[in-house]
Amino acid sequence: MTEYKKVDQEVIAKIIQIVGRDNVLSEDYELVTYTRDHQWVKYTDLFACKPEVVVLPEKPSQVADIVQLANRERIPVVPCGARSGMTGNCVPIRGGIQVDMKKMNKIVEIDEENLVAVVQAGIALYRLDSELRKRRFICGHRPGSQPTATVGGSISTSGWSEYRMKYGDIREQVTSLKVVLPTGELIKLGGGASGKVEKTSVGYPGLKHLFIGTWGTLGIVTEATIRIFPKPEYAYSATIAFESFEGACEATTKMLLADIPFSYLLVGNRSSVEFSRRVSPTYPDVDSIMTFTLEGKREIVEASKNVALRMCAEFGAKDVGKEVGDATFLAGYDAWGPWVTAYGPGYPLDEEGAVPYKRAPAVAKEFEAILRKYRVDNIGIVVGLARQYPILGCFWRVDERNTQKWEDYKRVSKEIAEIYLREGGTVSMAHGLGTRREEEFLQVELANSYDLMKKIKVMLDPNNIMNPGRWGLDTAYDRKEARN
Amino acid sequence: MTPMSELQKFRDALYTCSACSCGFCREDCPMFRTAMKDSAHSRGLTSLMLAFLEGKVKPSGGLAKHLNLCSTCRWCTERCPINVEYATRPPNLLIDTPKLVELLRSELLENGFAPPKVRDLLLNIKRVYNPWGSAPDHRMEWAKGLPTEPSAESTSQRIFVCCAYSYDQRAREAVRAATTVFQKARLAFVPIGSEQWCCGDMCQRLGEKALSESLAEHNIQLLENAKARDVVCLSPHCYHTIKNGPQYRSAKLNVEHYTRTLAHAIDEGRLKLYKQMKNKVAFHDPCYLGRYNSVYDEPRKVLESIQGLKLVEMYRNRKMSFCCGGGSGRILTEEPPYVERAAEERVKEALEAGADTIATACPLCLIQLTSATKSLGLERQLVAKDVVELVSEAL
């Protein structure tokens, strides 16, 4: 493993020279607040991964100077945004410098004519969206963590949006990026001369994607140009009760083949209904619930809605109205309150991946058997939010303080992941592999492209300073050392 | 019960917040807007409190100074997805960060840690019974030159004039306006007088519970001597403390905020506003009136009864209103560095809403917002006023 230098007073003095004293945090009460994100952690390890110092840069040149300093001194650098990711990706597992990007939160430009916004990486999606809405636009990337997640965090985790069926995810919305490389150079990637062009065919067009979803292991995104969308004139949401989860999945496939332009569509199985009933006793006693949203011009939405409702009715489904819709807890952080409070203190976990719609009901039954086998709380299974290979989310609960169950929790996670792969899907469509299981599944899912990943990492980050210890990439440096 | 043992009771709630870790309480938290770091919002505070209980964070002056960034505005408590109705079922998982901050401040005070400005503020209260440190004899100076008040014997109602209204030059203008408005509406306006002490809000929030109790004891005695059963508070902070604070419970008082009194007077036709006005007014909800006591409609109703006045809403309003950053003693203890002062951000938001006046019903908000219009050089575009001042102009 790479040997790193400790952050001593001399290094802190140099950091202060770059960003100023007010932007450097080293007190214990500051550092403990940078020890976790939204991944489940064994309670006894809760404050174990602490940064040695936190830096809050205010401009890109400061980010570049910090990274150069770290590269020279061999100190790990881990960038972070809102720390609302579910994989532990921004937790400084090797200590070092945590670069908190939240002070870089300016909107550089909103180009209403060309439908793009140029923003610094630390701006919260909610804040960008609020500003855009004042001008009759919206930010298309709307994950469950929208009130807190930052643009930079969404990019470096390749975040996933609940309204992806219409707008896509952030990776499809980025036209260009400004990035500080592990050796400290500040570069621009993609988007043509202005950075605003959605597609160019000049050079390697995929270069910007090297920095989308790579957890800051290849550099720090400081600025992004992303597409924005007109604020929908009208939105219609429906909540439909089905007699079976199988029927709901089949109806979904048919509606997608009919090309109904959904923004959002999610189907919950019986256990998700039971959870909603536990929280709201008047909730209907049915086997499956579907919620969908259509957005756009009113006449288009009205026409689409009529087709969708007719197709659902062919499966004997019933529109159960807004009240039930409001009490339906299918996805998103806002559902976590009820999850937590309905089951007592603990971590409501979403084990997710992708399988085809027609396999979802059978796979859901297998998942539930696993949850029963290890006696963990089953909060419900949901499927949807894609036209093909939809996300299949299995919600269950971990009590991080229960050390006796810990091995069981890991087994549940592993057995569910194996099923996603067996079905030809992916172990994670939304949140990414958490540190809890990354080594086991990386090689299986990535096959021989894993070696290419390691080569890219070594080439861009020769001293392994950027977010080290991720995805087994440290081994790339062991071999390099062995060769030398 | 020591503050530490009381804090221990919230272990499950602190753990629950840590496990959820959603951070929805960040973006519109005035503490975060001021400091923009992870420790400076409810999620950060709950993790550092959990670490404190685990012995991973030691009591220190730095920690006390850090906690002083919280204005206890309760936005986080409203925004928290865990704080839903069922959260109050046992085990109580309600994440009431302002309460938790109060307990940790108290624990730190007992260990001898408090920022110098907080120490001064508490010392002022101990010495002269008001956080401003002004002489008790000067408490009624604002009333100089005003027409004679109705006799104290004629009513069982007393006006509780906040120390801020009594001692701050800007806020004094508002309480003078209140006198005129009450008299026009044929409502009694009998202040408790120069004997009155601070209600105890600031020292309670800063962790000095015992001091807050002794202030309450004195004020209750004064009210009992005057045989007063009804109290009208001009400040939402006094209103909340006297209405809901356990230290005032024994007095069994009927407590009302002045915006409610005026709204009733308008309903009953006792207060008539004849003058035509042209202001475009954005109402800034004071946290202790809105989020703490759910009074949202009355101040708006009073404003809307002014002829010609146009009420506009800021982007963040009512339950989700953005705090001016002046609560919990910060009116006197706020100090740099800040990324942006909460009050300045609020003033800009009022301008964005198209307002030429930002109205509020709290002396602390009034002082904060007035100073923000000045520091931003926006006095010509936007003026900060108390609701009662606008009413008095419309008489």
Q: State pLDDT tens for residues B327-357.
A: 999 999 998 888 899 999 999 999 999 999 9
User: Does the beta-carbon distance from A33 to B44 stay under 8 Å?
Assistant: yes
Distance from CA of A246 to the nearest CA of B (A): 31
Mutate to test the interface with B, among A16, A33, A350 (most CBs of B within 10 A): A33
B89 in A contact zone (CB under 8 Å): yes
Chain A residue with CA closest to B28: the answer is A127
User: Does the beta-carbon distance from B48 to A32 stay under 8 Å?
Assistant: yes
CB A283 within 8 A of CB A326: no
B296 in A contact zone (CB under 8 Å): no
User: Does the beta-carbon distance from A333 to B337 stay under 8 Å?
Assistant: no
DSSP label of A238: E
Mutate to test the interface with B, among A19, A25, A29 (most CBs of B within 10 A): A29
pLDDT attached to residue A480: 54
The per-residue pLDDT for range B29-63, each reduced to its tens digit, is 999 999 999 999 999 999 999 999 999 999 999 99
pLDDT attached to residue B151: 66
User: Does the beta-carbon distance from A33 to B24 stay under 8 Å?
Assistant: no
pLDDT of B88 above 80 = no
DSSP label of B146: P
Residue whose C-alpha is closest to residue B129's, from B38, B204, B200? B200
b/e code A131-141 from CB counts within 10 Å (16+ = b) = bbeeeebbbbb
A35 in B contact zone (CB under 8 Å): yes
CB A454 within 8 A of CB A473: yes
Q: How far is CA A266 from CA A386, A428, B52, B62, B201, in A?
A: 9, 17, 41, 48, 48
| Residues of A in Cβ contact (< 8 Å) with B60 | 27-29
pLDDT attached to residue B86: 63
Count of pairs with CB atoms under 8 A, one residue in A, one in B: 140
User: How many CB atoms neighbour CB A124 within 10 A?
Assistant: 25
pLDDT attached to residue A482: 47
Of A51-55, B92-96, B317-321, the poorest mean pLDDT is in B92-96
Distance from CA of A132 to the nearest CA of B (A): 13
Q: For chain A, which ranges sit under pLDDT 70?
A: 330-337, 436-437, 479-484
User: Does the beta-carbon distance from B36 to A105 stay under 8 Å?
Assistant: yes
User: Does the beta-carbon distance from B36 to A35 stay under 8 Å?
Assistant: no
Q: What percentage of chain B carries pLDDT values higher than 90?
A: 88
User: Does the beta-carbon distance from B60 to A29 stay under 8 Å?
Assistant: yes
Residue whose C-alpha is closest to residue B386's, from B317, B299, B309, B316? B299
Nearest to A82 among B18, B20, B23 (CB): B23
pLDDT of B303 above 60 = yes
Residue whose C-alpha is closest to residue A353's, from A409, A423, A250? A423
C-alpha B234, offset from chain centre: 11
pLDDT attached to residue A479: 60
How far is residue B67's CA from residue B127's CA, in Å, rounded to a whole number?
A: 25
Distance from CA of A341 to the nearest CA of B (A): 5
pLDDT attached to residue A327: 76
Distance from CA of B344 to the nearest CA of A (A): 17
The per-residue pLDDT for range B101-148, each reduced to its tens digit, is 999 999 999 999 999 999 999 999 999 999 999 999 999 999 998 876
Residue A189 pairs in a beta bridge with A177
DSSP label of A150: B
How far is residue A92's CA from residue A465's CA, in Å, rounded to a whole number?
A: 11
b/e code B346-359 from CB counts within 10 Å (16+ = b) = bbbbbbebebbbbb
pLDDT attached to residue B83: 76
Ordered strands of the B157-160 beta sheet: B157-160, B230-233, B254-257
CB A196 within 8 A of CB A225: yes
| Residues of A in Cβ contact (< 8 Å) with B50 | 46
Place of tokens 């701006």: A123
| Residues of A in Cβ contact (< 8 Å) with B62 | 27, 29
Q: At A75, is the secondary structure helix, strand, or coil?
A: coil
For the record, the structure tokens of A247 come out as 């029927």
B47 in A contact zone (CB under 8 Å): yes
User: Does the beta-carbon distance from A40 to B22 stay under 8 Å?
Assistant: no
pLDDT attached to residue A130: 94
Place of tokens 């992941």: A417
User: Does the beta-carbon distance from A32 to B16 stay under 8 Å?
Assistant: no
Chain B residue with CA closest to A55: the answer is B37
pTM of the model: 0.95
How far is residue A345's CA from residue A14's CA, in Å, rounded to a whole number?
A: 43
Place of tokens 């959605």: A198
Residue at B255: amino acid letter: V
Distance from CA of A316 to the nearest CA of B (A): 34
pLDDT attached to residue A321: 87
User: Does the beta-carbon distance from A340 to B57 stay under 8 Å?
Assistant: no
User: Does the beta-carbon distance from B82 to A336 stay under 8 Å?
Assistant: yes
The H or E element that residue A300 is part of is helix A298-313
Q: Could you say which residues from 159 to 218 on chain B have a Cβ atom under 8 Å away from some Cβ of chain A?
A: none
CB A352 within 8 A of CB A430: yes
| Residues of A in Cβ contact (< 8 Å) with B66 | 27, 29-30
Strand A107-111 vs strand B280-283: parallel, antiparallel, or unpaired?
unpaired
The per-residue pLDDT for range A217-248, each reduced to its tens digit, is 999 999 999 999 999 999 999 999 999 999 99
- Counting every residue written for chain B, the total comes to 395
Nearest to B20 among A54, A83, A340 (CB): A340
Chain A residue with CA closest to B12: the answer is A345
